[in-house]
């Protein structure tokens, strides 16, 4: 089997693409898989690191407002379509798969020109502009949440598969938990709140957490906080101005980036984060209650729609970015931590949203379009 996967810019698009590629390779050891992305995104690190070939084209997102920059980007993307046609024609894949975002436009349209079967995976509950435009042109649309179905009325064929992720549910033993907590130099008796804002961090969440630390608001719980590599040193210097050593804050562990996210999510009692599709999926899988602060500038406000999937299921609470401050967050956390049974119930509600056998479901849809 020969496969092209279009994935670019963010981990939310690239990691599902890599997970799909890994599943195809597992089932077809002789499969040849090529990724198409841009020269600007995380794909230039993540795709080669995963062991796959990456080809790049010119492609840009197009804003709805007319501007000189928008016209330039449109012309560059049209050039990207020509580049994509050349790659597709030379590689001659059996199927082309897109995992959302603007890169899918030129690549999937190039595949369509050569009558190659196409699949588009959309992780978000509120589909992006590219997915909406391509939904009636590709053979199959795969969605991470059933809520997306009603928002893609023109899709020829739409299937709820969930979003593939490396994070799985782990039932950590008491000994395993204590070992991790000891390594983090935290307290075995206090509940753990895990806080992160994505790979680059989230400034509003970080600002709020700075106030929590300065006010010593976390007397009833402890914190594992990843502010992001680019903001860690800024926070370190800021705390130093208040005579606070970033490595010596009682019941708080601050680390630039979490590489063992599966372990940390399974350890936590509550998770506070943005609400990208991948994060929503991982929180549902690990069955954790959550507080979401959706990124307010996400396209079509899709992060708030994602967050409401778990909130409506009784698994999460939402604080809008404009309302976020240390008092509101602390009050919500303290209220949630008062009732352990309620937290367990929220975790079970999250479990109901999680979709099992995601990679298998996706692979089954691929097989329907490819003659193996």
What is the maximum alpha-carbon separation in the chain? 66
Three-state secondary structure call for residue 251: coil
> Can you name the residues that pair with 122 across neighbouring β-strands?
143
- pLDDT, residue 217, reads 84
pLDDT tens for 293-329 read 999 988 778 999 999 999 999 999 999 999 999 999 9
- pLDDT, residue 257, reads 87
Backbone angles phi and psi of 271, in degrees to 5: -120, 135
Which band of pLDDT confidence, cut at 50, 70 and 90, is reported for residue 244? very high
For 152, 177, 237, 334, 347, the CA distances from 341, given in Å and listed in that order, are 38, 20, 40, 14, 10
Three-state secondary structure call for residue 273: strand
**Range with the lowest mean pLDDT among 25-29, 41-45, 73-77, 146-150?**
73-77
- pLDDT, residue 80, reads 83
Torsion of CA 180, 165, 126, 294, to 10 degrees: 20
Q: Which CATH number, 3.40.50.2000, 2.60.40.10, 3.40.190.80, 3.40.50.1390, labels domain 174-353?
A: 3.40.50.2000
Q: Which helix or strand (DSSP H or E) is residue 270 part of? A: strand 270-273
- pLDDT, residue 265, reads 97
pLDDT tens for 133-160 read 999 999 999 999 999 999 999 999 999 9
For 23, 33, 301, 326, the CA distances from 20, given in Å and listed in that order, are 5, 10, 26, 40
At residue 173, does pLDDT exceed 80?
yes
pLDDT tens for 59-103 read 876 665 666 766 676 667 778 899 999 999 999 999 999 998 899
**Residue located via tokens 């994602």:** 306
Contact residues for 293 (Cβ-Cβ < 8 A; gap 6+): 202, 204, 205, 272, 273, 274, 275, 318, 319, 320, 321, 324
Residues of the chain with CATH 3.40.50.2000: 2-162+356-369, 174-353
Number of H helices, E strands in the chain: 14, 13
**Helix/strand/coil percentages in the chain, nearest 5:** 50, 15, 40
Contact residues for 328 (Cβ-Cβ < 8 A; gap 6+): 319
Q: To the nearest whole number, what is the mean pLDDT of the chain?
A: 92
Q: Which of 248, 140, 240, 133 is nearest to 186 (CA)?
A: 248
> Can you name the residues that pair with 121 across neighbouring β-strands?
142
- Residue 84 CA to residue 36 CA, distance in Å, equals 8
CATH of span 2-162+356-369? 3.40.50.2000
- Residue 31 CA to residue 27 CA, distance in Å, equals 9
Q: Residue 103 CA to chain centroid, in angstroms?
A: 17
Give the number of other Cβ atoms within 10 Å of residue 126's Cβ: 23
């Amino acid at each position: 089997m020969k496969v092209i996967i279009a994935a670019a810019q963010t981990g939310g698009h690239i990691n599902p693409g890599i997970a799909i590629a890994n599943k195809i390779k597992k089932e077809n050891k002789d499969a040849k898989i090529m990724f198409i992305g841009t020269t600007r995104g995380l794909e230039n690190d993540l795709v080669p690191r995963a062991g796959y070939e990456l080809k790049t084209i010119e492609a840009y997102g197009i804003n709805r407002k007319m501007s000189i920059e928008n016209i330039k980007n449109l012309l560059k993307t049209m050039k990207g379509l020509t580049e994509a046609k050349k790659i597709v024609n030379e590689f001659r894949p059996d199927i082309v798969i897109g995992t959302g975002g603007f890169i899918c436009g030129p690549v999937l349209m190039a595949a369509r020109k050569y009558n190659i079967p196409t699949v588009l995976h959309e992780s978000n509950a509120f589909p992006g502009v590219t997915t909406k435009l391509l939904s009636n042109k590709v053979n199959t649309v795969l969605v991470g949440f059933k809520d997306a179905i009603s928002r893609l009325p023109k899709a020829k064929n739409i299937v709820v598969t969930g979003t593939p992720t490396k994070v799985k549910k782990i039932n950590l033993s008491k000994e395993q938990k204590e070992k991790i907590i000891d390594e983090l130099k935290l307290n075995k008796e206090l509940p753990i709140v895990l806080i992160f804002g994505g790979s680059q961090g989230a400034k509003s969440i970080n600002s709020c957490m700075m106030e929590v630390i300065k006010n010593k608001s976390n007397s009833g719980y402890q914190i594992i906080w990843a502010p992001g590599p680019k903001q860690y040193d800024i926070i370190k210097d800021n705390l130093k101005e208040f005579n606070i050593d970033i490595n010596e804050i009682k019941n708080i562990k601050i680390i630039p980036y979490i590489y063992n996210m599966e372990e940390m999510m399974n350890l936590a009692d509550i998770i506070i984060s943005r609400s990208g599709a991948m994060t929503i999926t991982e929180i549902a899988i690990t069955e954790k209650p959550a507080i979401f602060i959706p990124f307010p500038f996400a396209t079509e406000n899709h992060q708030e729609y994602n967050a409401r999937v778990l909130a409506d299921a009784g698994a999460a609470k939402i604080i809008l970015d404009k309302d976020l401050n240390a008092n509101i967050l602390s009050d919500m956390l303290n209220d949630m931590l008062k009732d352990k049974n309620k937290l367990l119930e929220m975790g079970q509600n999250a479990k109901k949203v999680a979709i099992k056998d995601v990679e298998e479901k996706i692979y089954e849809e691929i097989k329907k379009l490819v003659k193996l």
